[in-house]
A and B are shown apart, each in its own frame.
Chain A
């Protein structure tokens, strides 16, 4: 009596194919001509390569440790343990709830905006209508949500939100969680996440035995989380960073250099808390 997994794993699976970079065999498969210049036929070799590529010529580590997990986590597409399956299920449900809340907020804001426009008769520039610009790809939203959770599962974030209530946040100075519902290119999004997490480090708890090296090491870990293979995806649109996001980076850098104790970011071992769509 075998245990059948429920369907709808395609989300997790496509998530995984997003992440994968199988090194040379992936790209060579896409090339129409082989090295000898002849057209490639779809041979079994290619299929094997592709299969192998996924399992073996993956240029990255075959496992990685996430803040939430107790140890190395396998890179297979779908989690086979019930604990992870339920967590994923919970994330997906939370995501649906967030999506609905976000849509309602956008619609409400648009209605108000439109009313104001007609009454004042102004033709002020309006933000490209958010309602048309909502990211809906579930796999992408889940991936973005996970990235946000990594950032929020830190002592730095806890200290930050305790210290600075949302209404006191000054744009540019205080880190703001990237809005997962907006359409951004992959590079742009990953960059925003990176910058956001860098800014959060300013709230790291003070630690004795400070090393800038340790901080750099952890930043490297964070970079590893980014799919560097995807740089190969040629994104012709430039990262849509706003001014406010560029400026504080410089400020932050100087403050980091000034500090003697950068403070080692400490990742708390807790799994995803219920996510509150963080947009203000």
Chain B
């Protein structure tokens, strides 16, 4: 399986780590998977670009390990590390907004890519919702970084999440409507993003062509 490793966006890693990752992709039993996991997670929490795509390399390693040894050591370490970070997310948010945003992006990306029998991992559904709900809180809506993260995740995994648990999606959108309507001090960009996501979901996780023109026509120019 010759996937160009550029696909995995690992250029931001130091050279030794890159070699380790490339080996993990081809021959997982020959490397220390806990260490590989650690490197990936650490980088995901620092690098905004990588956190958006880290799910893919994780998925490939999980598959490679399953095929080679039938094990899922890497996945286990990954999930448990995710859980650790989840448990201290409030602390993380306070000390570094960027790390918090990276974490949410990362966990959503994992949710998107790592499936179990082609179904999303049930164990992650509530944690992901918890993160998104946090982003929809009034104090988070005042930060464009957090709003941006929130709408990005909903674009990518909103439909899957809703299928997994519709009630919590309803709750999330109650908060979003409230924020849009009632919260003072939101920037016009924030309100634009919120309005777009409200329309996006209302349209069944698809934006009508007219709405698309409204929101994105300036980009096309």
Contacts and interface: CB of A to CB of B under 8 A. Distances in A.
Contact of B116 (A3, A5, A89, A273): A89
Interface residues of A, number: 22
A270 interface: yes
Nearest to A6: B122
A49 to B, nearest CB: 34
B97 interface: no
B121 interface: yes
A81 B83 CA distance: 7
B195 interface: no
Contacts of A90: 116-117
Contacts, number: 69
Most buried by A among B119, B122, B124: B122
Contacts of A3: 86-87, 126-127, 130
A238 interface: no
Contacts of B134: 1
Nearest to B73: A271
B77 A83 contact: yes
A274 B72 CA distance: 11
A93 interface: yes
A250 interface: no
A3 B71 CA distance: 28
A89 B119 CA distance: 10
Contacts of B121: 86, 89
A1 B90 contact: yes
A82 B71 contact: no
A83 B76 contact: yes
In order of increasing CB-CB distance, the 8 nearest A-B pairs are: A273-B70, A83-B76, A85-B123, A82-B79, A270-B71, A83-B79, A93-B117, A82-B83
Given A82-B124, A85-B79, 20 more contacts: A1-B130, A1-B134, A3-B130, A6-B122, A6-B125, A81-B79, A81-B80, A82-B123, A82-B127, A83-B75, A85-B123, A89-B122, A89-B123, A90-B116, A93-B116, A93-B119, A271-B71, A273-B66, A273-B70, A274-B70
11 contacts: A6-B126, A82-B124, A83-B80, A85-B122, A86-B79, A86-B123, A89-B121, A97-B117, A271-B70, A271-B71, A273-B66
